[in-house]
Amino acid sequence: MDRTDAELISAARKGDPASFEPLVAKYQGRVFATARRYARRESEVEDIVQEVFIKAWQKLDGFRGEAPFEHWLMRLAVRTCYDFLRGHQRNRETAFAELAESETNWLERFAAGPGSASEDADAARQLVAKVLSRLSPPARLVITMLEIEEKTVKEIAALTGWSATLVKVRAFRARAEMRKILSQMTRDKYL
Amino acid sequence: MSEEVYAKLLAAARKHPPGEQVPYAFEKRIVARLEARPAPSVWGLWCRPLWHAAISCVAITVLCGLWAYGSRAHTEPADNFSQDFEAAVFAPMNQQIEDSW
């Protein structure tokens, strides 16, 4: 019979890593998906996820069980991703400065008629990934959660530990930052 | 135009959420790593802050030494230590004599 999260956590707290394994197996998919939003290379994604679970193991005593384990784990995952972004800030300025041919073509199609440039296109996905990779860490985090994952301000505040007002302020700045980067990347040609 | 590109790109990102696929036996790798981690020893926990404190103390000592050396270099060098010492010892007495005049 499958043991509940509470039973597994209780056993893991006593220092039994084997009891932690089903918890990792159960939630690792979601943590991987979250990490993939912020890191491109699969090796970086694995490092983030590994760090999340090691931190979870170390801080398991801090889990009071008032909210589901998944919520607590996702908070840890978001904060680890944020630390990752802050740690890799230097790379964001130089990365993807130039547009690929397919992205330029997509923008040209978009300029000719917004309907003709599909959002399903790989070029659109690559372009948005480039724009996001150049955002500052708080801007990237807030744009990803608010605009892409469509979370509420309250949910973002709970996940990041920021106040609701700070989330709103950062969202406002992040949108402006994203527009500026988009404009720089396309050199005001199509905007 | 700018707003439309912005909205379209965000829509593209929304349409393609990252996958939840996991490398084979990833959970086993995590557990193996947890099992391999040495338990933190009391000595280890104690020694790290002790080293930090020792480094800080050495730095403060060096700074104090430099400051003392620097401040001494700015004062007149004493010709004769014994005379200075004597003057310092008899300073109150000299003061009394001067007051009595």
Please indicate whether, in this complex, the C-beta atoms of B9 and A120 are within 8 angstroms of each other: no
Cβ contact A53:A28 at 8 Å: yes
Q: What does the pLDDT read at residue A64?
A: 83
Q: Which residues in chain A touch residue B33, judged by CB atoms under 8 angstroms apart?
A: 50, 54
Question: CA of A76 to nearest chain B CA: how many angstroms apart?
Answer: 16
Q: Which residues in chain B touch residue A46, judged by CB atoms under 8 angstroms apart?
A: 23, 26
Q: What is the pLDDT of residues B34-80, one digit of tens each?
A: 888 766 667 777 888 889 899 989 999 999 888 888 877 666 656 67
Indicate the pTM of the whole model.
0.73
Instruction: Please give the Cα distance from A164 to A151 (Å, whole number).
Output: 12
Q: Is A156 on the interface with B (CB under 8 A)?
A: no
Q: Is A110 on the interface with B (CB under 8 A)?
A: yes
Q: What does the pLDDT read at residue B39?
A: 62
Cβ contact A69:A77 at 8 Å: no
Confidence of residue A168 (pLDDT cuts 50, 70, 90): very high
- Helices (H) and strands (E) counted in chain A, each on its own, are 10, 0
Which of B8, B14, B24 to probe by mutation at the A interface, max A CB count within 10 Å?
A: B8
Question: CA of B58 to nearest chain A CA: how many angstroms apart?
Answer: 31
* Mean residue pLDDT across chain B: 82
Q: Is A166 on the interface with B (CB under 8 A)?
A: no
Residue of A nearest to B14 (CA): A148
Q: Which two tokens stand for residue B88?
A: 């310092």
Neighbouring CB atoms inside 10 A of A102's CB total 14
Q: Is A107 on the interface with B (CB under 8 A)?
A: yes
ipTM value for the complex: 0.78
